[in-house]
């Protein structure tokens, strides 16, 4: 184990350090509950920590009295979506909240749905450990301890994203090193690494998954790598059901690996490592927690499957979520183009409950830079066409993973829109694909050549670090300025 | 050659960004001392000459130097306004402004508040001219009194700090605000520590990105 840790390059540790330091900063900068759906995620974490049980898709009370005191004390819903509003700035309000929190309020609700009644518990269990380890009993302190679970997962994510870039483009060193650092500074990743949200669980699981597959393509699908890939998939899935989008791609990747390398032991170890935890989870749902086996009960809001609808309509929705509408298609997005307005702009940086973001020109500059890197990566593939084509099963693996996730996002968005009338698409849902983001940057930098590449790599890291600091300053201005 | 070029390029980029950051931090503008976090989304109370509109139980923050409300005048010149901060029948502060403004935010100067006040009634009165209306939210209860009649709704109030300040000058205030209603780990000192850590780790990352160190062979 120690030898393995020593073999991890310093740059990968630096990526993890960047993520951890920024995660801690974000965890303290973002006021309590001021991030996407953090109210219900904290509810789940607290409920799990207090009862060793999980919420269920049933009617009843959701937030504990403790948490409701914070919701009111920080004026949560006066501030969300209201740029004029801000959390308490005065000691009078601070004292009032502290007094409320030590007045013996209830810490357990009836454990009802709240939109998370069918969510898997792995990420929340990590948060519950933080909750239990907190030396203080105030929920404000325990919330910070829960957020640190995200910080640790962010470090893990950044480490494995960097290692994935290294497996994909091992030479030159500056290319994967810069790619890992750029990913570690990504602002929406930083923001989510400092709040309590299962997006960080799936981000960490998917980073390990991509790394495991890339490593298996280079070194062979060993028993251990099979276990790593399977466990990563199961970990991501048991953190957030959206990881179901990776199942077809991961299965395809491992089948291709086993077929090409005649490594069938790795295939079985993958299946066992992926399947057993999920089967245990299903059994717990059925026999201990009285919940649906995997999905359902809570509807789309609980990560359940959308009701069956018009198949053609759904396919059109999925297509138009990411690609321009074709002439024969009905316009599903009259007011915007989700790939740009929701995914790209959200990815570049949309924070809080989505009520403040970077100006659009930042997204335009980012898109131009990424497009240039994509062109450079394609040029690299053309220059080394033979070597590129020989790796076709590996490319197919990554394509399977990415397309599976994008399809699931489109499919879920279709059901969500139909059932709730609101928009589903957000940039943060692309976090599970962060390894490919780093891979694109590494390949693009290498494609720029040995003269321009290192210069652009240095500039990109400066730009990414500034982007991250700017996001934090914007958050300070939003809530404290 | 490319490595020294990358160092020079990164150094210039860092210098340019520091210059932009400093320019932003040193630019002065008015800043808020606080708001009541009410959205200015519906018309909630008329401002008619001679009739007082009061909002009860407000928190008026330290260093408030204006009472700012959101007013609809229907395109007409707005009426002159007076504002009073009252508590327990006593007037704590009073201010007024001339009429002639148009729809939007209207600030009424008051003497600078020396410590945060709670349980304050913020009262407004149009002293002449055409009627206007206050914006706020209609869902508040027990807050708004027009004349002597309690009505539903709550109007938006914000309080500006005196003069213009740069972000740098406001930094100690920001550090104080950062520490409120959070974990006890969040103190003003923590904010400075975080900023140093974040900038420090960014420096380490840039240094690593332009370093000549190529010894990280693939294991």
pLDDT at A308: 59
- For the stretch A138-161, pLDDT in tens is 999 999 999 999 999 999 999 999
Name the residue among A436, A9, A450 with its Cα closest to residue A183: A436
Across the interface, do A173 and B214 touch by the CB < 8 Å criterion? yes
pLDDT at A474: 97
Query: Once rounded to an integer, what is the mean pLDDT over residues A191-201?
Result: 98
Question: How far is the alpha carbon of A96 from chain B, nearest alpha carbon, in Å?
Answer: 9
Spell out which residues of chain B touch residue A461, defining contact as CB-CB under 8 Å. Answer: 10, 205-206, 208-210
Does the pLDDT value for residue A347 go beyond 90?
yes
Query: Once rounded to an integer, what is the mean pLDDT over residues A257-268?
Result: 94
Which is more confidently placed, A301 or A108? A108
Strand residue runs (E) in A103-166: none
pLDDT at A309: 65
Q: Is B180 on the interface with A (CB under 8 A)?
A: yes
Angle value at C-alpha A50, between A47 and A56, nearest 5 degrees: 30
Residue B215 pLDDT level (bands cut at 50, 70, 90)? low
> Among A144, A451, A481, whose Cβ lies nearest the Cβ of B174?
A481
Across the interface, do A476 and B116 touch by the CB < 8 Å criterion? no
Does the pLDDT value for residue B152 go beyond 60?
yes
How far apart are alpha carbons A432 and A420 in whole angstroms?
Answer: 25
Give A75's contacts (C-beta < 8 A, 6+ positions apart). Answer: A85, A87, A88, B37
Across the interface, do A86 and B34 touch by the CB < 8 Å criterion? yes
CA A359 to chain CA mean position, Å = 23
Question: How far is the alpha carbon of B2 from chain A, nearest alpha carbon, in Å?
Answer: 5
Name the residue among A304, A329, A314, A323 with its Cα closest to residue A418: A314
Closest-approach residue (CA) in chain B for A190: B198
Inter-residue contact A169 to A175 (CB < 8 Å): yes
SS3 B38: coil
Residue A3 pLDDT level (bands cut at 50, 70, 90)? confident
- For the stretch B124-149, pLDDT in tens is 999 887 889 999 999 888 899 998 89
Across the interface, do A11 and B206 touch by the CB < 8 Å criterion? no
Query: Once rounded to an integer, what is the mean pLDDT over residues A179-191?
Result: 98
Spell out which residues of chain A touch residue B170, defining contact as CB-CB under 8 Å. Answer: 481
Containing H/E element for A328? none
Question: How far is the alpha carbon of A423 from chain B, nearest alpha carbon, in Å?
Answer: 23
- For the stretch A413-432, pLDDT in tens is 999 999 899 999 999 999 99
Closest-approach residue (CA) in chain A for B63: A90
Residue B219 pLDDT level (bands cut at 50, 70, 90)? very low
Does the pLDDT value for residue A47 go beyond 70?
yes
Query: Once rounded to an integer, what is the mean pLDDT over residues A225-236?
Result: 98
Across the interface, do A454 and B5 touch by the CB < 8 Å criterion? yes
Cβ atoms < 10 Å from Cβ of B38? 25
ipTM: 0.93
Q: Is B171 on the interface with A (CB under 8 A)?
A: no
Inter-residue contact A27 to A150 (CB < 8 Å): yes
The structure tokens listed for B187 are: 């103190």
Average pLDDT over all residues of chain B: 93
Containing H/E element for B29? strand B28-29
**Percent of chain A scoring above 90 in pLDDT:** 92
How far apart are alpha carbons A461 and A358 in whole angstroms?
Answer: 19
Average pLDDT over all residues of chain A: 95
Spell out which residues of chain A touch residue B164, defining contact as CB-CB under 8 Å. Answer: none
Spell out which residues of chain A touch residue B158, defining contact as CB-CB under 8 Å. Answer: 84
Query: Once rounded to an integer, what is the mean pLDDT over residues B180-192?
Result: 97
How far apart are alpha carbons B62 and B73 in whole angstroms?
Answer: 30
Closest-approach residue (CA) in chain B for A94: B181
Q: What is the DSSP string of A45-81?
A: HHHHHHHS----SSSS--S-HHHHHHHHHTTHHHHTT
pLDDT at A64: 97
Question: How far is the alpha carbon of B205 from chain A, nearest alpha carbon, in Å?
Answer: 7
Closest-approach residue (CA) in chain B for A144: B183
pLDDT at B130: 84
Query: Once rounded to an integer, what is the mean pLDDT over residues A360-387?
Result: 97
pLDDT at A476: 97
Cβ atoms < 10 Å from Cβ of A72? 14
Across the interface, do A177 and B208 touch by the CB < 8 Å criterion? yes
Does the pLDDT value for residue A134 go beyond 80?
yes
Spell out which residues of chain A touch residue B178, defining contact as CB-CB under 8 Å. Answer: 28-29, 476, 480
Query: Once rounded to an integer, what is the mean pLDDT over residues A120-132?
Result: 98
Report the DSSP beta bridge partners of residue A21: none
Q: Is B214 on the interface with A (CB under 8 A)?
A: yes
pLDDT at B148: 87
Question: How far is the alpha carbon of A31 from chain B, nearest alpha carbon, in Å?
Answer: 7
How far apart are alpha carbons A127 and B75 in whole angstroms?
Answer: 54
- For the stretch A265-321, pLDDT in tens is 999 999 999 999 999 999 999 999 999 998 765 444 444 555 556 889 999 999 999
pLDDT at B158: 97
Question: How far is the alpha carbon of B116 from chain A, nearest alpha carbon, in Å?
Answer: 8
């Amino acid at each position: 184990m120690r030898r393995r840790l020593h073999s991890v390059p310093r740059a990968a540790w630096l990526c993890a350090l960047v993520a951890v330091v920024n995660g801690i900063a974000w965890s303290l900068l973002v006021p309590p509950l001021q991030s996407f759906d953090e109210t219900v995620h904290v509810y789940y974490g607290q409920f799990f920590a207090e009862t060793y049980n999980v919420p269920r898709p049933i009617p009843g009370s959701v937030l504990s009295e403790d948490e409701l005191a914070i919701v009111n004390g920080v004026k949560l819903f006066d501030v969300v979506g209201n740029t004029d509003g801000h959390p308490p700035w005065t000691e009078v309000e601070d004292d009032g909240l502290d007094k409320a929190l030590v007045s013996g309020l209830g810490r357990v609700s009836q454990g009802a749905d709240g939109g998370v009644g069918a969510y898997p518990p792995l990420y929340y269990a990590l948060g519950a450990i933080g909750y239990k380890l907190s030396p203080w009993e105030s929920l404000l302190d325990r919330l910070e301890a829960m957020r640190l679970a995200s910080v640790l997962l962010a470090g893990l994510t950044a480490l494995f994203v960097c290692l994935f870039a290294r497996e994909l483009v091992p030479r030159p060193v500056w290319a994967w090193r810069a790619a890992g650092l750029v990913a570690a500074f990504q602002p929406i990743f930083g923001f989510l690494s400092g709040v309590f949200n299962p997006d960080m669980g799936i981000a960490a699981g998917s980073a390990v998954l991509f790394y495991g597959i890339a490593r298996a393509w280079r070194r062979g699908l060993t028993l251990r790598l099979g276990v790593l890939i399977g466990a990563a998939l199961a970990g991501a899935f048991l953190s957030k059901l959206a990881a179901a989008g990776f199942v077809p791609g991961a299965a395809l990747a491992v089948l291709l690996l086993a077929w090409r390398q005649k490594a069938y032991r790795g295939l079985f170890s993958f299946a066992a490592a992926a399947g057993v935890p999920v089967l245990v989870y299903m059994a717990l749902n059925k026999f201990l927690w009285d919940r649906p086996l995997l999905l359902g009960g809570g509807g789309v809001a609980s990560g359940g499957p959308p009701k069956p609808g018009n198949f053609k309509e759904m396919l059109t929705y999925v297509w138009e979520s990411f690609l321009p509408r074709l002439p024969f298609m009905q316009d599903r997005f009259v007011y915007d183009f989700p790939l740009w307005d929701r995914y790209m702009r959200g990815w570049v940086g949309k924070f809080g409950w989505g009520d403040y973001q970077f100006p659009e020109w930042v997204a335009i500059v980012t898109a131009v830079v990424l497009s240039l890197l994509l062109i450079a990566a394609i040029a690299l593939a053309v220059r080394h066409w033979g070597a590129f084509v020989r790796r076709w099963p590996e490319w197919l693996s990554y394509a399977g993973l990415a397309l599976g996730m994008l399809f699931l996002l489109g499919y879920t968005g279709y059901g969500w829109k139909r059932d709730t009338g609101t928009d589903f698409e957000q940039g943060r849902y692309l976090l599970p694909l962060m390894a490919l983001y780093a891979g694109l940057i590494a390949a693009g930098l290498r494609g720029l050549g040995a003269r321009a590449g290192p210069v652009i790599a240095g500039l990109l890291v400066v730009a990414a670090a500034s982007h991250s600091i700017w996001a934090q300053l914007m958050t300070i201005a939003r809530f404290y300025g | 050659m490319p490595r020294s070029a990358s160092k020079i390029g990164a150094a210039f980029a860092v210098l340019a960004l520091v210059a932009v950051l400093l320019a932003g931090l040193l630019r002065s503008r008015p800043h808020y001392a606080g708001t009541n976090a009410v959205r200015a989304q519906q018309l909630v109370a008329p401002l008619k000459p001679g009739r007082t509109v009061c909002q009860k139980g407000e928190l008026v923050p330290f260093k408030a130097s204006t009472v700012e409300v959101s007013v609809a005048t229907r395109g007409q010149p707005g009426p002159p306004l007076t504002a009073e901060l009252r508590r327990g029948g006593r007037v704590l502060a009073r201010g007024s402004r001339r009429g002639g403004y148009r729809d939007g935010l209207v600030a009424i100067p008051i003497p600078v508040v020396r410590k945060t006040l709670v349980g304050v009634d913020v009262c407004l009165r149009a002293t002449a001219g055409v009627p206007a209306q206050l914006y706020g939210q209609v869902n508040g209860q027990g807050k708004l009194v027009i004349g002597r009649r309690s009505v539903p709704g709550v109007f938006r109030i914000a309080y500006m700090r005196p003069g213009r300040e740069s972000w740098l000058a406001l930094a100690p205030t920001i550090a104080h605000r950062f520490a409120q209603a959070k974990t006890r780990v969040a103190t003003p000192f923590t904010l400075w520590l975080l900023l140093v850590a974040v900038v420090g780790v960014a420096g380490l990352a840039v240094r690593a990105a332009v370093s000549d160190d190529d010894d990280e062979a693939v294991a």
